[in-house]
Amino acid sequence: MRATSWAPALAAVLLLSGCGPAERSWPSVLELDYPPAPQQLLPDASPDAAAETPLAELADPGWLRDTAARTGIPRRALAAYAGAALRLAQADEGCGLGWNTLAGIGAVESVHGSYLGARAWADGTVRPPIVGIPLDGREGVMEILDTDGGVLDGDVEWDRAVGPMQFIPTTWGEHAQDGNLDGRADPHQIDDAALTAARYLCATGGDVTSDDGWTAALGAYNRSVSYAHDVADLAESYGG
């Protein structure tokens, strides 16, 4: 979620500015010309998945192989999106979030963790770390003074968005999840980041298979209408 809430969606790649606090009430889809909710898809689950399976092992390996080849999404990032959708399907049946929406967000926010030569490694850690611009109030950017002493973003003057799903420190602190079950939540670890994004979207949108729910969820992540259209187009494309 980027704090350049009213900037064009392309700024997600060019500026990487950060995921801001959500407003809980949004005008209808028609008032803001948001796109309708794309179809939300679940991946095939691994037959070996158990209750305490790390996120990246939840999706069927054959599905991951074929879908990565079809979509061009790096397999390690795809495993995080798919695993987060499967985990949410177990934990929050009323949400309905699909892996393809998470993939759409990941593509716009950080090119699936590959922005400026970064990549998600086998352990899910994105290296080098992806850190956005300072949220210093310049045109199109929120002004957010440092809230974490630079612990997450390395900046003790301003907050910055961090990780492949671009969270600002306060939002991460409120919603952080441990997707790989290593005992800690790390915004630079793609399983943790994808599961946190999924939880946040469901918490703000409710039923994201509905147009109003999907609009509320995406509006909380980023208010830009063009951003929502980009994510929707990508989600539909990835869904095939």
Q: Which residue has the higher pLDDT, 180 or 34?
A: 180
- Contact by Cβ (8 Å): 17, 3: yes
- Contact by Cβ (8 Å): 20, 3: yes
166-220: per-residue pLDDT in tens?
Answer: 999 999 999 999 999 999 999 999 999 999 999 999 999 999 999 999 999 999 9
Report CA-CA distances (Å) from 78 to 112, 129, 140, 212: 8, 18, 31, 26
227-239: per-residue pLDDT in tens?
Answer: 999 999 999 999 9
Task: Provide the token pair at 16.
Answer: 């990487």
Give ∠ CA 236-164-98 in degrees, rounded to 5: 30
Q: Which residue has the higher pLDDT, 6 or 84?
A: 84
Element of type H or E holding 127 = strand 126-127
pTM of the predicted model as reported, rounded to 2 decimal places: 0.88
- Contact by Cβ (8 Å): 189, 125: yes
- Of the candidates 210, 217, 229, the one whose C-alpha atom is nearest the C-alpha of residue 33 is 229
- Contact by Cβ (8 Å): 175, 196: yes
DSSP state of 179: S
Torsion of CA 139, 141, 142, 147, to 10 degrees: -130
Q: How confident is the model at residue 119 (pLDDT cuts 50, 70, 90)?
A: very high
- Of the candidates 212, 201, 141, the one whose C-alpha atom is nearest the C-alpha of residue 171 is 201
What mean pLDDT is reported for the chain?
A: 88
Q: Does residue 19 have a pLDDT over 80?
A: no
User: With pLDDT > 90 as the criterion, what percentage of the chain qualifies?
Assistant: 80
